[in-house]
């Protein structure tokens, strides 16, 4: 799925566009006990409650593609009788009205989800009447002939509210606040089947994770059985290793800066595209060559890439580039640079010592105090 397809599904989570037929929930405590289960027609929920669920569902389809939202495909064995994909197909076909299938689904999550606090599993079934599109890309709601039937699961932490004082309007007094359990925005979730090319793709699933470093691989394998792509953090570490292995001990600041400048420029040029920018071995090799990596260092590039990342691996540019800040560190000094102004920092040899030189034509602040770069008269 790409950004446009995700947004098309997110738009349904409003009262006017709601396509949700049924909602089920299971509240699990820190000892993995089911404390509460619910099954309701979604349209029967009170309006305020429905709005809060809409927020949860929107959050489950949010974040960056390739970092928080991961496209995953099912291997062939998952689609065989008794496989995880076949189970999800049965669950979808039941429209969440089969209690045995629901219990089995909850049990699979509870068994495999590694979390030591309370949490709430929310599962919805929806039927989206896909509108056709005209030649100028406008939606035609009266020209639909396809229905996208899907499940959306959200796993939300449930935490005890903070202690404190509160105002009681009835008694007109300040009292000790009653602490209660709050359902927070989801940490994990998935959309099945995927909505690829504006249609149902039963061979894929979209997985959501709040933290890219914590994918919960065991739960993915147990509940979904889908192939797990390289996480955003692993992609970044892999790219850093690739730079270090290619440059060796001769890596210099200018070359590394050029590589990151090239990545940021490519991301900027691609930002309007719905698909995230993916770089294969050939793309990365070209970036290195154009950034000034010596030809003798590039002789081992193909081998290094295959060993470090994998021959057929693609890295998402947004996962490997520092788009917010460019950090330069020594054991005693940390310099943070706007990635768009990396040209302000350069290396020079001064009095026989290797130095970082920062152009400081504008004002400088030291602990919030404006200072001059040079004393008067010098």
70: which DSSP letter? E
pLDDT in tens, the chain (378 residues): 999 999 999 999 999 999 999 999 999 999 999 999 999 999 999 999 999 999 999 999 999 999 999 999 999 999 999 999 999 999 999 999 999 999 999 999 999 999 999 999 999 999 999 987 766 666 665 656 799 999 999 999 999 999 999 898 989 999 998 889 999 999 999 999 999 999 999 999 999 999 999 999 999 999 999 999 999 999 999 999 999 999 887 778 888 889 988 998 999 899 888 888 999 999 999 999 999 998 888 988 999 999 999 888 999 999 998 877 788 888 888 888 887 787 788 888 888 888 888 887 777 888 888 877 655 554
What confidence score (pLDDT) does residue 342 get? Answer: 78
Which residues does 374 contact at the CB level (< 8 Å), separation at least 6?
none
Q: Rg for the chain (alpha carbons), in Å?
A: 26
* Both structure tokens of 361: 């034509």
Name which of 336, 86, 341 is nearest 224 in CA terms.
Answer: 86
What confidence score (pLDDT) does residue 137 get? Answer: 60
pTM of the model: 0.84
What confidence score (pLDDT) does residue 1 get? Answer: 93
What confidence score (pLDDT) does residue 376 get? Answer: 52
Per residue in 133-154, is it b (16+ CB within 10 Å) or e — as a string? eeeeeeeeeeeeeeebebbbbb
What confidence score (pLDDT) does residue 144 get? Answer: 64
What confidence score (pLDDT) does residue 97 get? Answer: 96
What confidence score (pLDDT) does residue 141 get? Answer: 56
What confidence score (pLDDT) does residue 274 get? Answer: 86
């Amino acid at each position: 799925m790409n950004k446009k397809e995700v947004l098309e599904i997110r738009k349904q989570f409003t009262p006017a566009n709601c396509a949700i037929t049924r909602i089920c929930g299971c509240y699990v405590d820190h000892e993995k006990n089911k404390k509460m289960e619910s099954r309701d027609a979604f349209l029967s929920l009170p309006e305020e409650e429905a709005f809060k669920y809409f927020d949860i569902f929107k959050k489950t389809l949010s974040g960056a593609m390739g970092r928080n939202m991961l496209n995953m495909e099912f291997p062939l064995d998952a689609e065989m009788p008794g496989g995880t994909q076949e189970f999800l197909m049965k669950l979808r076909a039941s429209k969440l009205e089969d209690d045995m299938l629901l219990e089995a689904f909850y049990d699979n999550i509870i068994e495999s989800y590694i979390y030591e606090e309370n949490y709430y599993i929310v599962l919805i079934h929806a039927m989206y009447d896909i509108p056709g599109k005209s030649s100028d890309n406008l939606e035609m709601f009266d020209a639909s002939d396809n229905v996208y039937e899907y499940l959306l699961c959200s796993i939300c932490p449930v935490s005890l509210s903070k202690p404190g004082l509160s105002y009681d309007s009835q008694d007109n007094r300040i009292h000790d606040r009653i602490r209660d359990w709050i359902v927070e925005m989801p940490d994990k979730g998935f959309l099945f089947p995927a909505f690829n090319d504006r249609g149902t793709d039963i061979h894929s699933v979209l997985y959501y994770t709040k933290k890219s470093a914590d994918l919960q691989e065991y739960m993915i394998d147990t509940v979904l059985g889908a192939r797990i792509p390289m996480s955003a953090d692993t992609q970044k570490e892999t790219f850093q290793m690739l730079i270090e292995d290619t440059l060796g001990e001769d890596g210099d600041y200018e070359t590394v800066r050029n590589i990151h400048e090239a990545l940021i420029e490519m991301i900027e040029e691609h930002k309007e595209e719905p698909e995230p920018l993916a770089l294969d071995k050939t793309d990365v090799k070209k970036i290195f060559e154009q950034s000034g990596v010596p030809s003798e260092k590039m002789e081992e590039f193909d081998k290094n890439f295959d060993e470090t990342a994998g021959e057929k691996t693609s890295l998402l540019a947004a996962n490997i580039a520092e788009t917010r800040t460019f950090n330069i560190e020594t054991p005693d000094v940390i310099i943070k640079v706007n990635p768009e102004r990396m040209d302000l920092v350069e290396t020079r040899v001064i009095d026989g010592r290797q130095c970082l030189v920062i152009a400081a034509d504008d004002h400088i602040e030291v602990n919030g105090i404006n200072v001059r770069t040079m004393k008067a008269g010098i």
